[in-house]
Amino acid sequence: MVEHIILPLSFVGIIYAAGYITSLLIAYFLPFFKAKEYIFIFIFFIFSLKSWSKKRWDIEDLWRDLGFLKFRDNIFNPIFRKELYKSFFIIFFWCLILIFGGFLRIKTLNNYQIIFDILFTAIFVGIAEELLFRVWLFEELNLFLSKKNNIIFQSIIFSLVHPYNFDENLFFNTLIKIGLFLLGTYLNLLRLNYYPRIFPAIAFHGGIVGFMFLAKSLLEIKKNYPIFIYGTQYETFINPISGLLGIFILLILNFFEIKALRIRSL
């Protein structure tokens, strides 16, 4: 219990506390960093991960195995591009259906600074969440769970730690959690299929986030739409993985990735 639960929780707690306290101290002198503690938590996490992986998972060079030492080769890799294109076409297809259904309309983009914000968010979320869930948590659970149970349990955690939409009822929040669970499952399957590389999962995750925010900046809700089909409202837009259409797409992705995993294991 100490090895599998208390040590990992202590690691998370120490990293969070160190990042949070550092952010408070720096924000005192540089107000720009106020309420940006996630940046410093991530920095402490990054600098601690290699030594943690060597002691806990017996991985000699984590960054080499993940593909970060050959960063350029990985982002120009056909597999990386495939997952990025896949995320684009999913959001594009979903938006087209809503536009032709008369539920979304194109709006004028007045603030081009938002493009850089979207790019930063996509890269940060793609890398940070994949390192946390598909690397750190994946390897921790791998110490005492089978790969199948690892995927299921980790996808549940991934779903639960994301915020609830308190503006919606239990039914729609359940759809959100199912969508997040299936997204987590797909990203875990990418991790297994291309192990130990993490870039395919980063490409898909960052792509989904980035293209969704890009769609949010270019489109607006025109009229009421069937929420259970297309997804619940997220701020001024729609969460594409919280409706039956998004869940159906994720089910298809998981089906083919499971099939690919079985072929690779033969």
How many Å apart are CA 51 and CA 10, to the nearest integer? 15
Instruction: Enumerate the domain spans of the chain.
Output: 1-56, 65-265
Judge whether 225 and 242 are in contact, CB under 8 Å: no
Average pLDDT over residues 198-210: 97
What is the residue-averaged pLDDT of the chain? 93
Judge whether 87 and 207 are in contact, CB under 8 Å: yes
Q: Would you state the structure tokens that stand for residue 108, as one six-digit string?
A: 């004028």
Look at 1-15, 34-48, 52-66, 245-259 and tell me which has the smallest mean pLDDT: 1-15
Q: Would you state the structure tokens that stand for residue 184, as one six-digit string?
A: 């987590």
Long-range contacts for 67-74 (Cβ within 8 Å, ≥24 apart)? 67/197, 67/198, 67/199, 74/197, 74/199
Q: Does pLDDT of 2 surpass 80?
A: no
Report how far Cα 87 is from the mean position of its chain's Cα atoms.
12
Report how far Cα 116 is from the mean position of its chain's Cα atoms.
19
What pLDDT, on the 0 to 100 scale, is given for residue 195?
Answer: 94
Provide the residue type at 230 as one letter. Answer: Y
| pLDDT above 70 as % of the chain | 99
| More confident site: 112 or 49 | 49
Per residue in 162-188, pLDDT (tens digit) is 988 877 889 999 999 999 999 999 999
Phi (first) and psi of residue 196, to 5 degrees: -95, 5
Q: How confident is the model at residue 207 (pLDDT cuts 50, 70, 90)?
A: very high
Average pLDDT over residues 197-214: 97
Provide the residue type at 151 as one letter. Answer: I
45, burial (CB in 10 Å: exposed 0-12, middle 13-18, buried 19+): buried
The residues that bridge with 221 in the sheet, in sequence order, are: 104
88, burial (CB in 10 Å: exposed 0-12, middle 13-18, buried 19+): middle
Judge whether 45 and 15 are in contact, CB under 8 Å: yes
Q: Does pLDDT of 1 surpass 60?
A: no
The residues that bridge with 220 in the sheet, in sequence order, are: 105
How many Å apart are CA 266 and CA 262, to the nearest integer? 6
Q: Would you state the structure tokens that stand for residue 260, as one six-digit string?
A: 């690919």
Report how far Cα 11 is from the mean position of its chain's Cα atoms.
21
Rg over alpha carbons for the chain, rounded to the nearest Å, is 19
Per residue in 27-83, pLDDT (tens digit) is 999 888 888 899 999 999 999 999 999 999 999 999 999 999 998 888 889 999 999
Q: Would you state the structure tokens that stand for residue 113, as one six-digit string?
A: 């600074």
Can you tell me whether residue 219 is helix, strand or coil? strand
What pLDDT, on the 0 to 100 scale, is given for residue 4?
Answer: 82
| More confident site: 5 or 63 | 63
How many Å apart are CA 222 and CA 225, to the nearest integer? 9
Query: For 57-146, where are the alpha helices, taking DSSP H only?
Result: 62-66, 71-75, 78-100, 113-129, 138-142
